[in-house]
């Protein structure tokens, strides 16, 4: 058994998410980073390659060059991981898929809905695996919550509250991470809604198994002079009639990464928090309150397969991320990975962002969330 070989585009010096993808990909010992176009600046790409300890010859400054060279090598890479800013997601995915390379991409799928629709066509035409790293769907307890709801533990879902408060953009944005997020040219239409609101959207659909059919959006650019939203509230209707509230904010001073999901059904409730991800509260219909914890013998196969340590040994963000790569490795081996987000999640997400931005801008009230067909 040899390892799958990964190429990365993006993730040069100073990047946050590139090293995260590298760690996540390699965590389970089944994938190895082997090549990269880490930066369009050759020196910087080379520097990154050294830090990643890959063969210097395989640190490219251009994705097309990478694809051309790697697809020729007998030991060429098996897939491409895309960790660039959002506006480069589509061209990178297109180039890889057209060359027959599977793709795993950081979210969102693309910078705009139209791009996402184009990418959907490309993915379908290519017939190669394409995955999106909606990280939070990789947490074992998130997968357990999904499994329990699917098994009817709550009865019919009636109410969903998903929130994602952060505070780091409460003041003027400074630093590489902040600056591109508040720049429409690099982030796309949405600021906060596209950066983190879309995580909340995906999580809510992922865990409940429902789909949002309508929304009412109230997005604001709170910090004076900001061009993109930094605080969002979106009311949701799901396909079964359930109601939802989605809150995302980057001006909530003191909040780090407070993603939290509460789902209430006819006869139970679930409450999960990203910052203490190894448990959730399970409200039983008879009034009992249970804390379901990672490692519990009662956990189902999805959560167990996504855990590496016994109960009480905390796993975190990197391990959740690694679970997505583990799923992706399954896809590459021809196995099923039904929990792994793909291009349809990407299109839904971009439609969510586009619809929310437009509905808020126009003050349209309740607006259908329409997913364009083929």
Check: CB of residue 291 under 8 Å from CB of residue 281: yes
Q: What is the DSSP letter of 63?
A: H
DSSP string for residues in 109-136: SSSSHHHHHHHHHHHHHHT--EEEE-GG
225 sits near its own copies (criterion: CB under 8 A): no
- Is residue 279 a contact partner of residue 291, using CB atoms and an 8 Å limit? yes
Which of 152, 254, 301, 368 contacts its own copies by CB under 8 A?
A: 254
Could you say whether residue 330 binds its own copies (CB under 8 A)?
no
- Provide the mask over 344-373, with x wherever binding to its own copies is found by CB under 8 A and - wherever it is not: -------------------x-xx-------
CA 175/CA 185 separation, integer angstroms: 17
Taking contact as CB under 8 A, which single stretch among the options 78-86, 95-103, 122-130, 261-269 is the one that binds its own copies? 261-269
How far are the Cα atoms of 31, 108, 129, 241, 305 from residue 337, in angstroms, in the given order?
16, 20, 11, 29, 12
How do 231-238 and 212-220 pair as beta strands? antiparallel
Interface segment toward its own copies; rule CB under 8 A; list 6-14, 48-56, 118-126, 354-362: 48-56
Stretch that binds its own copies, among 86-94, 200-208, 228-236, 335-343 (CB under 8 A): 228-236
CB nearer to its own copies: pick between 74 and 312: 312
The binder of its own copies chosen from 124, 256, 333, 361 (CB under 8 A): 256
Nearer to its own copies, 62 or 290 (CB): 290
The reply on whether position 284 binds its own copies by CB under 8 A is yes
Q: Can you give the three-state secondary structure of 265-305, one letter per residue? A: ECCEEEEEECCCCCEEEEEECCCCEEEEECCCCCCCHHHHH
Site for its own copies contains 73 (CB under 8 A)? no
Nearest residue (CB) to its own copies, 161 versus 343: 161
Residue 371: CB minimum distance to its own copies, A: 23
Beta strands in 179-230 (DSSP E): 212-220
Nearest to 272 by CA among 203, 226, 363: 203
Q: Does 304 bind its own copies (CB under 8 A)?
A: no
Instruction: Provide the mask over 124-163, with x wherever binding to its own copies is found by CB under 8 A and - wherever it is not.
Output: ------------------------------x---xx-x-x
- Write down the number of H helices and E strands in the chain: 13, 14
Binding span for its own copies by CB under 8 A among 106-114, 187-195, 239-247, 337-345: 239-247
């Amino acid at each position: 058994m040899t390892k799958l070989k990964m190429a990365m585009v993006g993730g040069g010096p100073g990047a946050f998410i590139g090293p995260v993808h590298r760690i996540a990909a390699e965590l389970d010992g089944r994938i190895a980073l082997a090549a990269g176009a880490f930066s369009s600046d050759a020196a910087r790409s080379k520097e990154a390659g050294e830090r990643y300890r890959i063969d210097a010859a395989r640190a490219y400054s251009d994705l097309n060059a990478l694809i051309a060279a790697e697809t020729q090598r007998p030991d060429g890479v098996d897939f491409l991981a895309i960790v660039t800013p959002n506006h480069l997601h589509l061209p990178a995915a297109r180039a890889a898929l057209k060359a027959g390379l599977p793709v795993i991409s950081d979210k969102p799928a693309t910078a705009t809905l139209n791009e996402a629709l184009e990418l959907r066509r490309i993915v379908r035409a290519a017939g190669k695996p394409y995955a999106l790293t909606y990280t939070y769907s990789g947490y074992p307890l998130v997968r357990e919550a999904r499994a329990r709801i699917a098994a009817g533990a709550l009865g019919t879902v009636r109410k969903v509250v998903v929130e994602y408060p952060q505070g780091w953009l409460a003041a003027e944005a400074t630093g590489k991470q902040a600056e591109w997020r508040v720049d429409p040219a690099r982030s796309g239409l949405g600021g906060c809604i596209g950066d983190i609101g879309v995580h909340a959207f995906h999580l809510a659909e992922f865990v409940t198994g429902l789909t949002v059919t309508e929304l009412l959006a109230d997005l604001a650019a709170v910090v004076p002079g900001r061009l993109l939203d930094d605080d969002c509230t979106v009311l949701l209707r799901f396909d079964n009639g359930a109601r939802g509230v989605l809150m995302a904010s980057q001006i909530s001073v003191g909040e780090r990464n407070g993603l939290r999901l509460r789902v209430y059904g006819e006869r139970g409730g679930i409450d999960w928090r990203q910052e203490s991800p190894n448990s959730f509260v399970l409200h039983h219909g008879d009034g009992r309150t249970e804390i379901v914890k990672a490692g519990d013998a009662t956990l189902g196969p999805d959560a167990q397969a996504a855990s590496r340590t016994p109960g009480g040994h905390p796993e975190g963000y990197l391990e959740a991320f690694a679970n997505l790569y583990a799923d992706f490795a399954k896809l590459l081996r021809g196995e099923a990975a039904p929990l792994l987000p793909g291009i349809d999640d990407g299109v839904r997400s971009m439609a969510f962002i586009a619809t929310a931005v437009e509905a808020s801008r126009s003050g349209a009230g309740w607006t259908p969330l329409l997913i364009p067909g083929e």
